Structure 1
């Protein structure tokens, strides 16, 4: 296995640094760090801590599915029975002449399945301009508060796929069902059993963690002070910090049908169900943008009718870089990415810290990592 193409891709990427790893069910197949933790910082290490952002969602989904196995949460009962704030969902239909939001009751309740599949009706303010307009008409929520996930629905649950704050509400459901803070539950039942000892909701980034940067007009890199952690709740949609080796242990658990090093996290049939398309004829995966400085329009497989499982994007056809149909994947907003290919028995993780999301050069390097896995 040669990484010459990966070296070339990093040299062309303009990234400050990155960590790349490949895994199979038995262990790590490849690992290499590139560059620096910041545009002028120390050397990137394989165990450098990153803000993994929306890569948090898969781990929270696993925690929720443990509770489904135990009968403490139901996929299809109204989630408002557990999270009472979601018991009377309202759909935004527009704005009146004074700019005030107009809503109507949703046609049906929100369920945990809707939340895990992003068919709940919720949105994201950085993707959906109507959510930004709603906040402008009411009040812009303070960062780190529960108000950042409080919003009307954009459509009736189950009728569309739109990427959203849904997994933040999954985290709240875990908390209500267990009486524990989300981070405490995940540490005890997911991270510690898997040996993910560097994965946590932190109140601040460690000094030696990788820092987020942006490209200046001349292409040079500038560090920016952005941190998704802290605040009044553990943000299930994107608040975790982790390392590539830690995340690889989660990926291997999924490849192994829910078990790693003797610790069973999920039943095999639960893992299989998480990897099955749950949204019928709806198409998942496309994200527009209301804040291009945070995220570019994004679609991993624009030529495929991609599906969504209980926490993952699913490609129904072979991917251009080698992954098999039925693979699972997603990403974090600071240009970190992963995939799990059960059919081929391989998984990979690519971590960098660059804004905005969907950076072409970062995606080129991620593609080179994937091609190397199947070479």
Structure 2
């Protein structure tokens, strides 16, 4: 451990900069916390989780973590790896036969397109690192994404499409790939497919696996795919920026998918959580897979999660992420970035569409989280906190 945090210096460096994000209406409110080893070095709740109802942010404010669900899915799969139930280069079709004959898009439009057989075999590695050739359907100018929007995944975004995970993944397998597996990085539904792999391996539902193997052992009582009536008052609304520089409360941002009865348990983006709960997850990772005397992962499995598994030819996974590879469902810094020399090699991190961020720095025993609820995503709170942590040490 080379970085030693000082709580007073961190307070002076971080809090004014984070408060400015409330004052200038970047966010309505958020929580921020940092741990080193077993100690909480920083915890602040700024602004309001619900401005209209004048509700303060708190450790138990429930937030949409969207893609911060992915590291949790990675941890679940790491538990199964610990038990010898899969290997990273296993073919996906070994678990989900619908992926046995994947085809790659060649040409044409959404209703009349041509494909050809994939020339490489899709593996679990490709799913973990978003190199399987799948998509999210976000790019309206991409022909494959247009095909996604012609099918059911478009309704996935607003909650109107409500299959179970088996049905959803089987449908994905029928869509053309954007590229041959292992040849290109593209952010996608791949982590949702891994949730189905976990179901096939164990014979249990993805939701029950998360509860039994992670949430209950770690005391993450408020982390789930749905928010019941008893907890609804703690569920923060989401905001979006206005043209005049203010904020407006969003309505209809897919909240139907968080209510009881929704069946698509998305390991890629479906969970809600709290700063307290997700902090316990981060502390478990910091402590090598154990928290408060309860072990859920071996130290080897935690290291495996935070090891770069991206095919070397694809580093970095995005042009604007120099020195960054991909572990199990999260990015891993593999080389220092000259533009941001303060971030250590080995940092494992990810973020969510509503601006939440997390990171784990195993070499220095540091973890942190921020929990805004703003869309489109703006990761300024997480970026500022992470930088101030290292620059103030």
TM-score by length of 1: 0.88
Match of 2:4 in 1: none
SS of the residue corresponding to residue 114 of structure 1 reads helix
CA distance in 2, matches of 1:67, 1:187: 14
Whether 1:283 and 2:303 are equivalent positions in the alignment is no
Q: Single out whichever of 47-56 and 258-267 deviates more from structure 2.
A: 258-267
Matches within 5 A, 1:1-375: 1=8, 2=11, 3-41=15-53, 42-95=55-108, 99-127=111-139, 129-136=142-149, 141-143=154-156, 144-145=162-163, 146-147=167-168, 150=172, 151-202=175-226, 206-224=232-250, 225-226=252-253, 227=255, 228-229=257-258, 231-279=262-310, 280-286=312-318, 302=320, 304-318=322-336, 320=340, 322-357=342-377, 359=378, 363-374=379-390, 375=392
SS of the residue corresponding to residue 237 of structure 1 reads coil
Match of 1:289 in 2: none
Q: Single out whichever of 53-62 and 65-74 deviates more from structure 2.
A: 65-74
Shift of 1:265: 1.6
Shift of 1:29: 1.8
CA distance in 1, matches of 2:25, 2:317: 24
In the comparison of the two structures, how many residue pairs are matched?
A: 356
Aligned CA distance change for structure 1 residues 13 and 282 (closer, same or farther; 3 Å): farther
Structure 1 segments of 4 or more deviating over 6 A? none
Q: Single out whichever of 246-255 and 199-208 deviates more from structure 2.
A: 199-208
The structure where helix makes up a greater share of residues is: 2
Aligned CA distance change for structure 1 residues 321 and 239 (closer, same or farther; 3 Å): farther
TM-score by length of 2: 0.84
Q: How big is each residue's C-alpha offset from its partner over 1:329-353, in whole Å with a ceiling of 9 and x where there is no partner?
A: 1100001111111112111101111
Q: Single out whichever of 63-72 and 238-247 deviates more from structure 2.
A: 63-72
Q: For the aligned residues, what is the CA RMSD?
A: 2.3
Shift of 1:283: 2.8
CA distance in 1, matches of 2:152, 2:107: 17
**Structure 1 unaligned blocks of 5 or more:** 287-298
SS of the residue corresponding to residue 185 of structure 1 reads helix
Shift of 1:368: 2.6
Shift of 1:200: 0.9
**Structure 2 unaligned blocks of 5 or more:** 1-7, 157-161
CA distance in 1, matches of 2:26, 2:232: 24
